[in-house]
Structure 1
Amino acid sequence: MKFKSIKHKLISIFTLLIVLPLMFSSIIAITILKSSLQNQATYSLKKSSNLIDNIITEAYTGYKNSILQMSENGIIKSCLTVDDKTLEKELFSIVKSNKSILNAYIFTKNNKILIYPKTDSLNDFVPTDSKLYKDTKTKKNDILCVDAYKDLTTGKMVITLCKSIFDNNDIFVGVACIDIDISYIKNLVKDITIDNNGHVYLLDRTGVAIASRNDNVLGKNFNPDRKEAALTKDTKILNIYNSSSEVSWMKNLMSGKSGLESAHFLNTNNFVYYMNNIASGWKIIVTMDKNILTKKIFSTLLLFIIVFIVSLVISILAALIISKSVTNPLNHLNEIMLKAENGDLTQICSIKTNDEFGTLGKSFSNMTAGIKDLISSIKETSKKILIFSDTLKNQSNVSSISANEIASTMDEISAGVQQQATDAQISSEIALKFIDKLNEINTYSKEINNESSKMNDYNKEAFDAVVNLKQKNDLTTTAVSTISKRIKELESYSENIGKISSVILSISSQTNLLSLNAAIEAARAGDAGKGFSVVADEVRKLSEQSSNSAEEIQNIISKIQNTTKETVHSMDNVANYVESQNDAVTITEQSFEELSKSIDNITTTINNVVVSINELTQKSTILMESIESISSVSEQSAAAIEEITASVASQLNDMEKLRQESENLNELAQILEKGVEKFKID
């Protein structure tokens, strides 16, 4: 499942952290409650059954003691010889000794019947022929228990206990019987309540209900496999169940077993616990309505649902509050970081908390302040570089123009010198023909004098140009030195920026390490640390973003440093070129000084020639030597001029390179200025 925001993620996590444990605990609690209620119901059923069992056993023990005492009574044992009044008085005493005894009677072996209270219903009764008499006699010393039945005289539910009577000589003389009113047990069973919805059913040994709070089942048969007892064959008993499949557990009850069943009993889903009373052989059935237990479970389930809904609402509210406290600082940081990414370095983090967000906000503010100072310094430096590069460019252009003018002048000088060499050659030829053409020599002498004057003028102009070039070259040297210093300062600033970027990367790395440690600790904390794990993961992402931004800044600074180094290298080359140019200018100046001296010499010589022209005829040898000297000087001048021309051409190339380098420097300064213009620092 993907979440669009950390807020939704935190809400989901908090909700799951509260809802899932609550849901599991509710399921476990309901399961435990159901088991507990079932155990409680089982305990109540067993407790009630044991209580009834103890009551019946205690009562039956009393009844048996009564019949034993009656059978062991001396008068009763002498029933064949004692008169009837004495026996009746004794029977009266027995009846009055226990209010539960309705009748006490004796059947003798000679068919004598003695009963109290007296009744006429047994006038036609022959004791020795009855099954009761025979079964009792057969049991000898054991007590015969007759299943409960409804007494016709009193209409009460009674049981009959009988025991054989032996005289003092241990001779069988008859049977003693008592009819016991079990209304006490019936009322006791009727009054027993089991969680206000349970019922107790007391069955005789054949399965007929003899006691219950439900009067509709009294006297009715619960056992589909019941066989009629001898004394109750004449009584019509209604069956509640006609098939053993309806009460399959009834066979276990009839066979003397006990157990707990969940069964459909008397048209109701019940927990049924059954057991046998050993003393009487009666069957005890205790039931509890399952619907009451189900209602308790549902009421508890409803309570858990209400608690679940309330907890869910509380968890969502808590998740909203906590997520807001986490996402607000993150959103604020994200907003100012986006602005900083777009170049706005005036943003200040306003997170005032003392947690990691507050620390991250302070670090971001410090980082932007450092970058802002750095960008401000770069802006100022780039402006200075731009100004210096413009000045250098202008000076380079001026120097280039001057160099072109010098080259043009040197071309003219070279042409004059070549012409001088030609004239010297002609003079040499004239000297050979000096005698024949003296007039022509005089004319040529005048022309040489004029050309010398011009050459002197040209020499002065060239010398002035060289001096001007030297002054310009000095200015260029000063400007290059200043630019070189500024560029080295820029290189130093760039190195400081690189150090700051390294510090930022170190802080990002440490923050990333801290977030990793926080994630590890959150993982160790298990479910309780998942919320903090999410926060640590977001901090790690922010650290990675800061690291990436710092790396981008470092890459930009690295490019600036590389460009600055290239500029420094170029400026060093320019300085070398300027120094070479300065040397060349110095040589040119010296050459022009020598040239000036040579021209002066030539002028003096020509003047001497003019003065001595009249003596030339006579001094032809001297004239030839002078002409040769002039030719030699002309050749030297031509060579010197060629050297000056080469120097000027080299200087022109150097100035062109200087101009190109200044243009490159100007372009780099403009690129640097555009690069830092996107940052807003004011």
Structure 2
Amino acid sequence: MKFHFNRSSSLALKIVVRISLLVILTCSTLTAVVLYFYRTSQEQQVTKSMERSGRDAGKLVDMKIASLISQIETVAQRDDVRSMDWRVQKPVLQREAERLGFSRFQVGDTSGQFRTTTGVSLYAGGEKYFKYAVSGRAVVSDVLYDSVSDGIVMVVSCPIYDEKKTVSGVLAAVTSASSLNTITSAVDLDYEGGCFIINAAGEKMSGVDYSGKKKLENDLRNPEARTGGSMEELVRVEKRMIQGKSGLAVYRQSGSDWYLSYTPINNGVWYLGVIQNKNQAMAVIQQMLLRMIVFALVFIAVGIASGILLARSLAPLKSVSEKITEIASGKADLTKRIDFHSNDEIGGVVDGFNTFSAKLQDIMRVMKQSKDTLVNAGQNLKDSTHDTVSSITQILANIDSVGNSISAQSLSVDQTASAVNEIISNIGSIKQMVEVQARGVTDASAAVEEMIGNIASVNSSMEKMAEAFRELEDRAVDGVNKQDDVSARIDMIEQESQMLQDANLAIANIAEQTNLLAMNAAIEAAHAGDAGKGFSVVADEIRKLSETSTSQSKTIGDQLQKIQDTIKGIVVSSAESKLAFTAVSDRIKSTDALVKEVATVMREQKEGSAQINVALHDMNDSTAEVKNAFIEMSAGSQAILQEVQSLQNATLSMKDGMEEMKIGARKINETSSLLSEISSQMGDSIEDIGCQVDQFKV
């Protein structure tokens, strides 16, 4: 590290600053070394303490889990429970659940059907706790959602053995998920923190309040576990936990550093994590740091005091520096001397400066005398130069005046020439436009004549079209009349079909009456016995004829109904067709009127076009006369242009001569100006030297 001092910094200040920096650097180095070794030792002790705390907590939780399993196995070994008689098991298990603090007991057979002490039946054949128990292994299940209690629970299960030591059922105790929180909260921690348990999927078994919840929490699926999230480091440690090894890690969350010691529990199915505040564990280092800072500040204060005492012994040197600065300033009094007597190096410096001041006083006295002579000579040179510059400036002004007049004349000649050229150009342009106009008038005349012919052709076509529309209108009126006749005939057919329908209804009634007569005849023939058999045959034939007539009448009625429906459709279509014919007739009349109106307009346009054609012929004659006049004007303009060009050449020659005279006069003026500038600079230099010399008092 380098510190830069200004030249004006005192020697005393430099000595005090450097001594202070030396003391600060020494104290800082000692403090850093001591803190490094102390921190390393403290971190090792805290690390061992945290690892030991994690292992002890794991053993405690395993003991609690083993105690739960032991309680359930003890209940499962009772004879009344092993009987698998639910009427005997239920009251016993209800008392045991109340004694042991479980929510309920439930007993299942080997197929997975369970009965609970709360009176509910359920199937749990797919649950892990049932599969383990039925295979002969007592377990504590993962926390899971229970539909019976509508909450998150933990299940402790074990097999029930019969007299032959064969698994005859499964006993399961259900308790709230908060039971695991009660177990982990019993772990003693040295610092702020807590415990939690997760399974291999990362789901929280404890460390979470599952009251009122139906889903398990999982940090691995938390959105805050993504890169840059607040739980990123914690989730990274949890992934190491579920690898099945014990360890210690440090992570940062919510602005604080935390220790996390972890170990597998419950036969490697779960993983216990113990969290403790790292800042609290390392607080003793902070206290040590404060003490070291206090000691360092004391040593720094002692070093600064020593530097100040040393700086005071150099105070006379500061007085010498101030007096030298005063003499070396622009307005110096060379008659002054430094009154200081010493036999050391500082005294030698002062004596040498006094000798230098005496010599400088003699030099300044001689320069003051020479300054007055230089001032007089410079003033004489400046006056002579000023007169010469004034004369040359007058000559140059006269040359510029003549040159400006010639330039104005040249400009006027140029403008005249430009105007004549522009007139000639405009005459040529107008001539071309007149020629274009003549061609346009000729073309327009031809076009108008052609248009007149086309109008005549259109008039002929319009007359033919009007004749065609009149004929079409007559045809449309004839079509409307024929459509009215068709409508009348269709109405007559509809009425006649209704009469056929009435006749068919009469036939049906006759057939029905005939059928009744046949039935009566059959009855009478039956009453007559053998004498009426012949009459019975006739009655039967009459009945068949009546049935045939009825069937045919129904068929004829259906066909007549269809015919009537078709006739009704034809009537509607006929009405619509009549309306269409009427609309067509009206449109034809409107179109015929428009055609007549167009024919009238076309006749008027034919007459207007003839008048335009006459006007175009008159315009063509006028254009030819204008064209001849412009040819004569162009020849006169060319003669004027030749005279103007001769005048322009003469003016240009005069302008070149004046330009050469101006250049020569300007060079003389520049030389005079340079001489005047040198004279001014010389006067300024003499004045500057005088100002500097006059500042010294001799």
Give the TM-score band, short-chain normalised.
0.3 to 0.5
Q: Which has the larger radius of gyration?
A: 1
Structure-1-length-normalised TM-score: 0.37
